[in-house]
Structure 1
Amino acid sequence: MRDFTSKLLVSVFASTIVTTFSINAAQPEFIEPPTVSIPAGEFYMGSDRGEKNEQPVRKVSISAFQMGKYEVTVAEFKKFIEATGYKMPDNCYQYVLGGPRTELASWDSTVYKFSDYHPVVCLPQQAAVDYAKWLSKETGKNYRLPTEAEWEYTLRAGTNSRHFFGEEQDSSKACQFANISDWYAADMSAKIFPGAHVRDIEQCSDNEATLAIVGLYEPNPFGVYDMVGNIMEYLADCYVDNYENAPVDGSAVSKENCDTYVVRGGSWHWFPWHSSERGRISNDFLGALEGFRLVLDTDGKSLPPQKGSAAFSKNLAIAQQKAKKKHKENPAYPNKPQGLKVIESSPAKVVLSWQKNHQPFLSGYKVYRQDLLTNQKVSISKLIKESYFVDTSPLAHNARYSVVALNGKTESVYSDPVDSGQTTIHTLPTKIQGEAFSYSVGNEVKFSVLEPENDKIINSMDDKPSTYLIKVARGGKFKIDARVFYPGRGENFEIWLGDMKIAAPKLDGERGWKTINNINIDLPKGTFALTIKGGETMFAVNWLDIKKI
């Protein structure tokens, strides 16, 4: 389940939203969207391979309707604002992990408003509902948000695989159909937003770094565009934790005073979402990754699709052609180097090797080294042709290496990293920084935007353990004060001494950074491996202050 009221990957935080809705008496100008006719049918909604909130799988009947061919754009939404004077919030938190420094924005001032033909974002679900009501009044038709069942039925388009374009092993095909987090995003994001961090990287390139013009990629089998990636799409359904007793007639789940609604489709910031994957957005949440598309309700009648407003469709086609032309100018990205390993590590040298890339346009490789204690990542090699490298000036403490492949100046994404294995022994009592671990796989050392400027390097662990070597000169009772990021789901984190769990402090309260005080433990004399286990996505450690009692 994707809960975006607490999603640190994007760091889009909750805001108080107040909107008002007024209608001008005068006939306003509006844009009607192009639609795709979706036939009536039945399908199995959900997945036994997915999260618990995607279950139980059930057969759902869908009446004929028309789905918006594209996500609603800035141009379309602008007509609504101009015609009605609708008051939009201006506290959309658009910060994306080291991205734009201007934190708060409105739908018309966000950094992602690249053109009139990009999806409108930075709006609450209620604004999407009110837009649909306004367009319905102006056209005499029945526009509304899709139900979750209609949305998944449309996305699947008769398929029952993990993605409409294939199974898990086919996920790299997503760039043909979607704007997702990919090689190009990893390469370009930091150039657009200095310091930006791309976490999920699919092994393909869609040629867009962030938000894209609607309709740039291939449609799904029904002919609908961008149902995976680009933006998360608001739906009509009130969010519930599972499909027990959910409607089987294609209608929306409704609850009185609903405070959380379903979103679907993922965005440009993540891996391609599975066809059954669900997210949720609370009403007090306003972020820069959410938008919507419309349904044209035909009362179950199968009708020809509408072409939409002619001028809009013409100008959109021109914008799409310009964007696709730029895509063709982008260089080919080499494949991500595979098999990086440390074959020798000593205070005098660290020897690395990896699998050779046989792509014909490959220029060579470059090696990067991250100093985990300063979070500085620098290139330590010139262009090298062979698939090995010797660092003759290694750091005295643990360092993290990665390799990129090159096509001229175009770099591939980083290889999976490896650590030098140079250990630091922390003699107690002492304050251990989270990044000063001796061993950890799958974690990330990064800057936290929420911690003090002089103490913002953290160990982002998720559910991966990190081990610290400690030396206890005199055994006895100790207490640990731990600065950790709590994801907000009521879990424990664990502290292990070798093979023995010695503490499991309970985390509760609001999501965010917390100092957990007075974790009492007994430690014998000697040198030991102290391991921290988080157990949840987004768990992180800033420091451990270990004192003798």
Structure 2
Amino acid sequence: MKLNKLIIPLFLSVNSAVIYANQNASELIEPIMVTIPAGSFQMGNTEDEDAQPIHKVTLTEFSLGKYEVTVREFRQFVEETDYEMPTKCIHQLNGWFNYGETNGSWENNSLNTSDFQPVNCTGWLAANAYTQCLAKKTGRPYRLPSEAEWEYAARAGTTSKYYFGDDLEQALVCEYENTADLTGENILQRDSSTSYVNFFNGKSNCVDHAAYASIVGMYKPNPFGLHDIVSNVVEFITDCYKDNYKNAHNNGQAWIDNDCKYRVARGGSWHWNTFPVSQRGVVGEDFVGAVEGFRIALDGAAPAIPSNTVKFIKALKTAQRSEQLRRDAVLPYPATVTNLKLDKEAGIITLKWDKSSQSDIESYRIYRNAATGGVFKLLAANIIETTFKDANIDNHQYEYTVVAVRHNQQGDYSNVVKTPTSWVHAPG
């Protein structure tokens, strides 16, 4: 089962009604909107059953948030309305996400560190309430986007797997999106002894400089001017989820029924490698997790930017500039170790590899898993030589890989070597 299609209903009790402080002009920050031109596209794909049949959709002009809604924007909504937010969220890393509720909220969880990251731990209900409040305060009918609007805007006139091409080597994505990359791999191994390798759809072969959610707008936009549309956090959609496109609207309207327990989710997050723009996700209305967020939609052209949003833009630019300076100061990651070889003799594994050509490499780390396809765990660190012996083995078929280390940053994994398969004697 595709992980982004796992349905994890928690059925948290969340108020669905918003208590508005007043009916006057709102002090809420209005989102920075981008006008999406009218047009048509072929929606769906031939790889996923729930994305069929492929059908033509024609949309009128609409607007979409340039960025995902941030913690700072959402804070004003909560403070003004006293909306009852969830106090538990799936957000702790424990051999990957612990699929149980843990203490944490939209403003206090271990994965958010900036007011300018996309807000998470809200759930679909609170995200929708935010749009309703914003609409009522401004007089503009802000809402969550429909599924067709999202895919059309994410494609931005392209027909490739992603708006920046098919990227078969997964080497280009880090210029455009925050995804599972070498930065995240470093942090996951350091903090949680977990790995993107052999996890779901793996990791990209590049560096995006964000281990978790990124401050919005740090990567190149798509041709429509939208940032982080494919991957930063998964985005909530208005549509109720159904498992195919039969009888789907051809005008871009959301598909809604009277018993809507599950909603469509679109895009990926820092937690997974990149999903194609046509791939669908699904989430329970009551599910509250740390890799889901949202952006805002609006009929017609983008409105003029109000003064309170101008202030937000200035603060965001300051945060983006500081974050870019931090990223620019990060040294390049060490080159990948090459030519790893394995020899087994007298119950001892000997590993050998080529010495790094980079003169400032400080040491090497050895990773091992106890089964093909398992998660690599750190076996040894601070290895100075280019050889290592492992006598702590049994009849498992182990896999090994080696990384070079410099300034506590490790490069990508070397080629993988494995021990020979052992004979297993069955009784009789």
Q: TM-score range by the shorter chain?
A: 0.7 to 0.9
Q: Which runs of structure 2 are paired with 1:23-102 in the superposition (5 Å)?
A: 23-25=20-22, 27=24, 28-48=26-46, 50-98=47-95
Q: Which residue of 1 aligns with 2:364?
A: 366
Q: Which residue of 1 aligns with 2:267?
A: 265
Q: Which residue of 2 aligns with 1:16?
A: 12
Output the CA distance in 2 between the equivalents of 1:376 and 1:171. Answer: 24
Q: Percentage identity across aligned positions?
A: 33
Q: Which runs of structure 2 are paired with 1:66-465 in the superposition (5 Å)?
A: 66-98=63-95, 103-191=102-190, 193-198=191-196, 199=199, 200-298=202-300, 302=301, 306=305, 309-337=309-337, 340-342=340-342, 344-347=343-346, 349-352=348-351, 363=361, 366-370=364-368, 372=370, 377-379=378-380, 382-384=383-385, 389=387, 391=389, 393=391, 395-398=393-396, 399-407=398-406, 409-415=408-414, 417-421=416-420, 423=422
CA-atom RMSD, angstroms? 2.9
Q: 1:51 to 1:321 in 2, by over 3 A?
A: same
Q: Which has the higher strand share?
A: 1
Output the CA distance in 1 between the equivalents of 2:147 and 2:377. Answer: 44
Q: 1:416 to 1:252 in 2, by over 3 A?
A: farther
Spell out, residue by residue over 1:436-477, the C-alpha distance to the aligned partner (whole angstroms, 9 max, x if none).
xxxxxxxxxxxxxxxxxxxxxxxxxxxxxxxxx3421xxxxx
Shift of 1:229: 1.5
Spell out, residue by residue over 1:247-277, the C-alpha distance to the aligned partner (whole angstroms, 9 max, x if none).
1111111111111111111001110111111
What letter corresponds to residue 135 of structure 1 in structure 2?
A: L
Output the CA distance in 1 between the equivalents of 2:377 and 2:55. Answer: 50
Output the CA distance in 2 between the equivalents of 1:119 and 1:367. Answer: 34
Output the CA distance in 1 between the equivalents of 2:354 and 2:55. Answer: 45
Output the CA distance in 1 between the equivalents of 2:273 and 2:139. Answer: 39
Output the CA distance in 2 between the equivalents of 1:54 and 1:81. Answer: 36
Structure possessing the higher relative contact order (Cα contacts under 8 Å, 6 or more residues apart): 2
Shift of 1:197: 4.1
Question: Which 5+ residue runs of structure 1 have no aligned equivalent?
Answer: 426-468, 473-524, 526-549
Output the CA distance in 2 between the equivalents of 1:163 and 1:391. Answer: 44
Output the CA distance in 2 between the equivalents of 1:194 and 1:81. Answer: 32
Q: 1:339 to 1:141 in 2, by over 3 A?
A: farther
Shift of 1:357: 6.8
* 2:422 equivalent to 1:471: no
Tell me, yes or no, if the aligned pair for 2:369 and 2:400 is still in contact at 8 Å. no
Output the CA distance in 2 between the equivalents of 1:382 and 1:153. Answer: 51
Structure 1 or 2, whichever has the larger Rg, is: 1
Tell me, yes or no, if the aligned pair for 1:5 and 1:13 is still in contact at 8 Å. no
Shift of 1:240: 1.2
Q: 1:347 to 1:217 in 2, by over 3 A?
A: same
Output the CA distance in 1 between the equivalents of 2:315 and 2:402. Answer: 43
Shift of 1:348: 5.1
Tell me, yes or no, if the aligned pair for 1:333 and 1:410 is still in contact at 8 Å. yes
Shift of 1:29: 1.9
Question: Which 5+ residue runs of structure 2 have no aligned equivalent?
Answer: none
What letter corresponds to residue 324 of structure 1 in structure 2?
A: Q
Tell me, yes or no, if the aligned pair for 2:340 and 2:416 is still in contact at 8 Å. yes
Q: 1:338 to 1:306 in 2, by over 3 A?
A: farther
What letter corresponds to residue 41 of structure 1 in structure 2?
A: G
Shift of 1:410: 2.4
Count of residue pairs the alignment pairs up: 415
Shift of 1:98: 3.7
Tell me, yes or no, if the aligned pair for 1:349 and 1:390 is still in contact at 8 Å. no
Output the CA distance in 2 between the equivalents of 1:470 and 1:114. Answer: 54
Output the CA distance in 2 between the equivalents of 1:17 and 1:368. Answer: 46
Tell me, what secondary structure is at the counterpart of 2:42?
strand
Tell me, yes or no, if the aligned pair for 1:340 and 1:402 is still in contact at 8 Å. yes
Shift of 1:236: 0.7
What letter corresponds to residue 401 of structure 2 in structure 1?
A: S
Spell out, residue by residue over 1:467-512, the C-alpha distance to the aligned partner (whole angstroms, 9 max, x if none).
xx3421xxxxxxxxxxxxxxxxxxxxxxxxxxxxxxxxxxxxxxxx
Output the CA distance in 2 between the equivalents of 1:219 and 1:16. Answer: 35
Q: 1:402 to 1:305 in 2, by over 3 A?
A: farther
Tell me, yes or no, if the aligned pair for 1:24 and 1:83 is still in contact at 8 Å. yes
What letter corresponds to residue 421 of structure 1 in structure 2?
A: P
Q: 1:6 to 1:276 in 2, by over 3 A?
A: closer
What letter corresponds to residue 187 of structure 1 in structure 2?
A: N
Tell me, yes or no, if the aligned pair for 2:14 and 2:125 is still in contact at 8 Å. no
Shift of 1:369: 4.8
Shift of 1:334: 3.1
Output the CA distance in 2 between the equivalents of 1:270 and 1:333. Answer: 21
Tell me, what secondary structure is at the counterpart of 2:80?
helix
Q: 1:234 to 1:332 in 2, by over 3 A?
A: same
What letter corresponds to residue 207 of structure 2 in structure 1?
A: S
